[in-house]
Amino acid sequence: MKIFKFGGASTKDAENVKNVVSVINQTGEKDLVVVVSAMGKITNALEEVVNDYFDDNGNIKDSLRIVYDFHFEILKGLFQSSSHSSFGELDKSFKELKHFLETNKSKNHAFVYDQVVSYGEIISSTIISAYFSEIGIKNTWLDVRQCIKTDANYRDANVDWEKTQQRILERVSAQGITVTQGFLGAENTNNFTTTLGREGSDYTAAIFAYCLNAENVTIWKDVPGVLNADPRYFTKTQLYNNISYREAIELAFYGASVIHPKTLQPLQRKEIPLFVKSFLNPTAPGTCVGKGVLLDPFTSSFILKKDQVLISLSSLDFSFMMENNIGDVFKLLHEYKMKVNLIQNSAISFSVCVDNRFGNLEPLLAKLRENFSVKWNENVSLYTIRHFKTAEVKALAENKNVLLKQESKETVQLVIKE
Ligand code: ADP
Ligand code: ASP
Ligand code: MG
C-alpha cells in the first residue's frame, strides 16, 4: 500500500486532472490512498468568501461565483455530457455551503473559516473520484473527516492519533484505490470540520502512511523534487537526490514550502520513505527523503520566508530580559498563535521574527506594550542558508538592508527589509 498526494498545482484545470490519471498509470500502482487538496488556488478563493462573509460587504455572491465557475469549467473539460452526475454534486455542495452561510450564528472566525474553506477539498476529491470512475478506475471516495479526529483548534487542529489510527484501520482498505481529502479533519465532540493548517495536505498523506504502515509516500509537485532553493525566487537551483529526515525537517521548518513541516515526523518515526516527484515527469526519480545520507549532493540550501514581522522588545525600566519576562513573551506569542522563526536576545532586549498570520499582530503588539517597550518592522523577509559558505552569505546580503543576522555552525539567518 502506498500513499500519493496531489496538490493544487497538479489539479488546476481539466488537463491536469487527466494528467493525474496518467501519473497513476505510469507508476502502475494499484493499491493506493490518493490524497488530494483543493484545485488550483481555490483555498485562497474560499478565504475571500470568508472575508466577504465577515466584512458583510455585499461581495460574497461574486466570490462564491468565482469558486463555482472554476469547478464548473473543470467539469466541462472532464465530462462530455452536461447531465453527468458530477454537475449535480457540485450544485449540492454549493447549496450546502450557502445554507451554512445563511444560517450560521457563530462569530468564531476560525470555526467559520474551516467550515467554508473545507469545501475546496470536498469538491476536488468528489470530482477526481468521479473522473476516475468515468474512465474505468475503480475507486472508493472516503470522507476524511470520519477518520482524522482532532481537537477544536480550528485552522491549526491537532490530531488525536489514537482515534485516528483506529478509524483509518477500520475504514481504509489496503487493496484498491481510495480517494480522500487532504488538509481536513473533524473535531471529536460535535464532528465539526477542522483544518490542519495551510498547505496541510502533505501532512494528511503522512498521517495515512503512519496509520497504515504504508510502503512509502509520494507527493507530486510542479518541481522535479526538493531543490536547494525555491525556483520562484532563486536561479540555477539544484535537485537533491537524497535527504535525511533530519535535514528535511530542518528545511521545512525554516520555510522550504515544498514539504509541509509537520509531514516528516510521523514518517521518520516509522522510517517510511517520502518521495517528492514531478507530476510532469513521473518516471524521473525526484527526491527521496529517508534514513541515512544527510544531503546528496551536499550543497547549501537557500530558504526565503516572506511577510515576516520582526518584533524587538526591551524592558521599560532597563532591567534585564530574563527567564521570567521572556517566558511571559512566549506565552503571549503562543496565545496569539504567532509562529516564531527566529529569536535573539541581549541583556535588555529580545527580538523575534514571526509569521504575520491570522490578523493577530495588532492585538499582540497592544498586549506587549503593556509591559515592554516595543519596536517592530512589518513586511520583512527571513533568509536562511543551511550549510552556508561565507561567500554565499556575503553575496546574499550585498546591497540589502540587513536588520538582524544570526549564525550557527550549520545555519545562517538574515532578516532583511527589502
Ligand atoms: P502543491 O500545493 O501543489 O502540493 P506547493 O505549491 O505547495 O505544491 O509546493 C511546490 C512549490 O514549492 C514549488 O512550485 C516551489 O515554488 C516551492 N518550493 C519552495 N521551496 C522549494 C524547494 N526547496 N524545492 C522545490 N520547490 C520549492
Ligand atoms: N488546500 C489547502 C491549502 O491550500 C491545503 C493544501 O493545499 O495542502 O492550504
Ligand atoms: Mg500547496
Q: What's this model's pTM, rounded to 2 decimal places?
A: 0.93
Would the CATH topology of 2-215 be identical to that of 301-417? no
Distance 397 CA to ligand 2 centre (A): 32
- Please give the C-alpha separations between residue 418 and each of 82, 136, 177, 345, 379, in angstroms, as whole numbers: 50, 52, 47, 23, 8
Q: Say yes or no to pLDDT of 358 above 80.
A: no
User: Could you identify the atom of ligand 2 that is nearest to the CA of residue 200?
Assistant: 8
Those residues whose C-beta lies under 8 Å from the C-beta of residue 293, and which sit 6 or more positions away, are: 242, 244
Domain boundaries, the chain: 2-215, 301-417
At 208, phi and psi to the nearest 5?
A: -60, -45
Q: Which of the four pLDDT bands, split at 50, 70 and 90, describes residue 386?
A: very high
DSSP for 261-329 reads GGGHHHHHHHT--EEEEETTSTTS--EEEESS-SEES---EEEEEEEEEEEEEEETTS----HHHHHHH
Indicate the pLDDT class of residue 316, thresholds 50, 70 and 90. confident
Conformation bin of residue 271: beta by default, left when phi > 0, alpha when psi is -120 to 50:
left
Q: Using a 6 Å CB cutoff, which residues line ligand 2?
A: 7-8, 37-38, 43, 120, 182-183, 198-201
Mean pLDDT score, 352-372:
90
Going by alpha carbons, the residue nearest to atom 12 of ligand 1 is 258
CB-ligand 1 contact for 152 (6 Å cutoff): no
CA of 233 to the centre of ligand 1 (A): 11
Over residues 53-97, the pLDDT tens digits come to 999 999 999 999 999 999 999 999 999 888 999 999 999 999 999
Q: Which numbered atom of ligand 2 lies nearest the CA of 7?
A: 7
Query: N- to C-terminal Cα distance for the chain?
Result: 47
> Does residue 257's CB lie within 6 angstroms of at least one atom of ligand 1?
yes
- State the architecture of 301-417 in CATH terms: 2-Layer Sandwich (3.30)
2-215 domain in CATH 3.40.1160.10? yes
Q: What is the spatial distance between Cα 196 and Cα 193, in angstroms, rounded to a whole number?
A: 10
